[in-house]
Amino acid sequence: MSSDADLHALRHSASHIMAQAVRKLFPNVKLGIGPAIEDGFYYDFKTGTPFTTDDLKKIETEMKSIIKSKEAFERFELSYGEAKEFLAKQNEPLKLELLEDHRDETISFYRNGDFTDLCAGPHLEHTGQLKAFKLLSVAGAYWRGDEKNEMLQRIYGTAFATKDDLQAYLTQLEEAEKRDHRKLGAELDLFSIHHKEAGPGLIYWHPRGSIVRRVIEDFWKNTHEDHGYQLVYTPHLVKVDMWKTSGHYQMQYPMYFTEIDGDEYGVKPMNCPGHIMIYKTQTRSYRDLPIRQAEMGTVYRHEKSGVLHGMLRVRGFTQDDAHVFCTPAQLLDEMLGILGLIDTILGTFGFQYQAYLSTRPEKSVGSDENWEMATNALREALDKKGLPYIEDPGEGVFYGPKIDFKIKDAIGRTWQLSTVQVDFNLPERFDMRFIDSDGEQKHPVMIHRAIFGSFERFMGILIEHFAGAFPIWCAPEQAIVIPIADRHLDYCKEVAKKIRAAGLRAVVDERNEKLGYKIRSAQKQKIPYMLVAGDKEVEEGRVSVRTRAEGDQGAAPVQEVIDAILAQVREFK
């Protein structure tokens, strides 16, 4: 494929071929929608009986027959009335519902062989051009993504220009399955979700996962304080008046509401208005700016159950949120500082990233002058930092331009992570002011900024990126001390005590189990250092060292091992 558009057309064509195969094998199904998506395609079907794995194999076989016949994709158009009559004869109620969104338009269809679908296109020239595809899975999906609608059967697939590209993707999927944070999260005792008892989309951090989070939080706090941020805390529950002022109430943002003493309250879905309240408690001068506020604020959003996914998409999460209030003249310097902070934090985890500059969309607020000033400041900051970036015209948020950062993980997947957004809207809506050098009251510029996005999602990404083997500086336990027999237990406890006194995390395996079992257990828990002690080690004041990556390293004095672990931790931080 020569472009993303070509690959999109190929995958869209694959979805049609799949739907054609399904209709031939299961004549009573009704068709929903079948778009191309980022890594493939899907099609939704209304059927009384769920599809099985064996069904997918049959559908693939039928698709290959359609591909072999090289049927041409032919476009034709009908008026709304003609299209309605055509779909009624086809007995396609879901398609008729979709048609109602296009009453005043000429309606396009695509035909190949004996199959015709309501579709805007584009497609391949003929079915024979689909060379490499694979059906992946089947899942339930609410019609048009609305939980109030009926559940359909969605078949997912993928397609590529070459068989080599397809095989590379399937290999990546296999590796991703091994690294699935939900599976590893349970195996490593990091977190759990209690769907039936407590509700979906809510994360319970276990002790081991909490240690990882706490260490990262401490690193985050210290780094922010070093960059001139002040840490704040804001309430979880706020009267709806604030959300009406911000506009979230009118936009029907996915919030949770309750009533207290006759007043309606909203559980906060974001921290921005709370930081504005703190700003407004005092009269601010241009000499007070910039003001940088940072909060690890737990928020809640009413996400639909169909989109929830482990730690990656949840209803309750903690944002690593920050807001900078500055004058327009300070915007460039503040952006440079934020870019440096992002580089420091993401670099600590070894992530490389790509920056995307998103400019003014068609629907927006704010003056042309403000948009030009802010966009130029973001562009100049990227240039001064020497950061290559891709410009996304019209993809800014309605209240200002932004820079997004996407990282690649260990197996080549891309994740949207950090974001920096300039906001002209909220300072005006909340009538935020500062007294400028000319004595006039003016609105400050507000910068929204998150680096991890949320601790829950970031933890899920980390688990999958490192396959559960966290860098030594944030591993739940940096060392485990293993006695060969019970008579060595007191010595091992003393070793662990010395390790902890040096500021490291260590535990002792006190279980009455064989040595081999204990070592395998520690290896499965992906603990960086396993320190074994028996009669000889006790006598010589040493431990036998094993690492999760390199295995047996031989015996060494305890202090030498401690110094080696400390040195390795310092390499990361």
Show which residues are catalytic: 272, 301, 319, 321, 323, 402, 448
CA distance 171 to 164: 11
Question: Strand pairing of 151-160 and 40-46?
Answer: antiparallel
Query: Which of 523-528's residues contact partners 24+ apart within 8 Å by CB, and which partners?
Result: 523/548, 524/187, 525/188, 525/189, 525/477, 525/480, 526/188, 526/468, 526/469, 526/470, 526/475, 527/475, 527/476, 527/477, 527/478, 527/479, 527/480, 528/472, 528/475, 528/478, 528/479, 528/565, 528/568
Cα separation, 321 vs 119, in Å, equals 42
Pairing between strand 230-231 and 291-300?
parallel
* CA distances, 83 to each of 12, 46, 90, 115 (Å): 21, 21, 10, 15
| C-alpha distance across the termini of the chain, in Å | 43
Q: How far apart are CA 414 and CA 407, in angstroms?
A: 6
State the DSSP code for 573.
-
Please check whether residue 144 is in contact with residue 427, taking contact to mean a CB–CB distance below 8 angstroms.
Answer: no
Give the single-character DSSP code of 453.
S
Encoded amino acid at 297, one letter: G
Q: Count CA atoms within 13 Å of residue 235 on its CB side.
A: 9
Would you mind telling me the total number of residues written for the chain in this entry? 573
Structure token digits, residue 479:
């060392």
Label residue 366 left, alpha or beta by phi (over 0 means left) and psi (-120 to 50 means alpha).
left
